[in-house]
């Protein structure tokens, strides 16, 4: 399933500056692994050591928080849009 993933600015140094990448995945967990394969280091920024999404990072499938869907098991389909939104504390 070709899914478009929106990379937040703070993580773009890991994607060579790309803000939008396309990944083949069937659910969010696989999508994160595919991102890691393509852009090493990304997973560690999104997930803790046990693989859980970090509490200050949100992942949205079509603007819906996966926490209210099926978490990492949330399915993604062709044409879906995934956004990664981290907390920002600067001021």
Partner 1 sequence: MDFTEDQIQRYSRHIILPEVGGLGQIKIRQASCFIVGAGGLGAPAAMYLAAAGIGKLGIIDDDNVDLSNLQRQVIHHTRDVGTHKAESAKAKINAMNPDVEVVIHRDRLKAHNARELVAGYDYILDGTDNFATKFLINDLSVFTGIPMVHGGILRFSGQAMVVIPGQSACYRCVFHEAPPEGIVPTCQEAGVLGVLAGVIGTIQATEVLKMVLGIGTVLKNRLLTYQALESEFREVRVKKNPKCPVCGDHPTITELVDGEDRACAL
Is residue 56 within 8 Å of 87, Cβ to Cβ? yes
Cα gap 34→39, rounded to integer Å: 8
What is the maximum alpha-carbon separation in the chain?
39
Please choose, from the candidates 3, 6, 8, the residue with its C-alpha nearest in 3D space to the C-alpha of residue 86.
8
> For partner 1, which residue of 2, 9, 52, 73 counts as binding (CB under 8 A)?
9
Report the nearest approach of partner 1 to the CB of residue 88 (Å).
3
| Number of amino acids touching partner 1 (CB under 8 A) | 26
Site for partner 1, residues 18 to 47, rule: CB under 8 A: 19, 45
Asked if 54 interacts with partner 1 (CB under 8 A), we say: yes
Asked if 68 interacts with partner 1 (CB under 8 A), we say: yes
Is residue 81 within 8 Å of 6, Cβ to Cβ? yes
Asked if 91 interacts with partner 1 (CB under 8 A), we say: yes
> Which residues of this chain interact with partner 1, rule CB under 8 A?
6, 8-11, 19, 45, 54-58, 60, 63-65, 67-68, 83, 85-91
């Amino acid at each position: 399933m070709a899914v478009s993933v929106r990379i937040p600015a703070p993580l773009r140094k890991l994607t060579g500056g790309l803000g939008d990448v396309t990944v083949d995945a069937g659910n969010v967990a696989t999508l994160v692994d595919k991102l890691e394969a393509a852009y090493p280091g990304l997973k560690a920024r999104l997930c803790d050591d046990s693989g859980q999404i970090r509490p200050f990072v949100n992942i949205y499938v079509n603007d819906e928080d996966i926490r209210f869907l099926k978490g990492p098991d949330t399915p993604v389909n062709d044409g879906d849009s995934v956004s990664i939104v981290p907390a920002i504390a600067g001021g």
